[in-house]
Amino acid sequence: MDYYIIFSLAVIVLALLFLFLVWLRKKFALRESALKKRVDKKFKEISQLLAIDNESAFRTAIIEADKLLDFVLKSKGVRGSTLGERLKSSRGLIRDLNNIWFAHKVRNRLVHDLDSRIKRRETARVIKIFRGTINHLLNL
């Protein structure tokens, strides 16, 4: 009789654990889906900025892409209080860390150097780096 009770309790616990894992997986999938939709929407806005063909729009596009990378890294649970710290913490996550550091430094130059200039070609290269890194992070 005692084995029957223990067996029944074990089955109930396993069933509850299974239901919890199904719920957790569904919740995580919805979160990932919402994150991808938000990123896609932001990249459409960035593409619209690039179409303006204006240096001010180029600056804004790079700054927005940098902020988007920071948002994705935070969403993935990467530790750090700044994007620079999160990049240092993400060595195993990001394929080409040198390229993303280059893109982030371009953003820093645009924000902190009053005389900095940016052209369409460099902007396109930087946005391509941000887009590739973000897409890679979303597909992990």
Choose the weakest-confidence range: 31-45, 57-71, 119-133.
Answer: 31-45
| pLDDT 10s digits, 63-89 | 999 999 999 999 888 999 999 999 999
Asked if the structure places residue 23 within a domain, the reply is: no
Asked if the structure places residue 27 within a domain, the reply is: no
Q: What's the confidence (pLDDT) of residue 4? A: 78
Output the domain CATH number for residue 134.
1.20.120
Q: What's the confidence (pLDDT) of residue 29? A: 57
pLDDT band, very low/low/confident/very high, at 130 (cuts 50, 70, 90) = very high
Asked if the structure places residue 5 within a domain, the reply is: no
Asked if the structure places residue 16 within a domain, the reply is: no
- Domain around 51: 34-138
- Tell me how far apart the alpha carbons of residues 111 and 132 are, in angstroms, rounded to a whole number: 22
Q: What's the confidence (pLDDT) of residue 121? A: 95
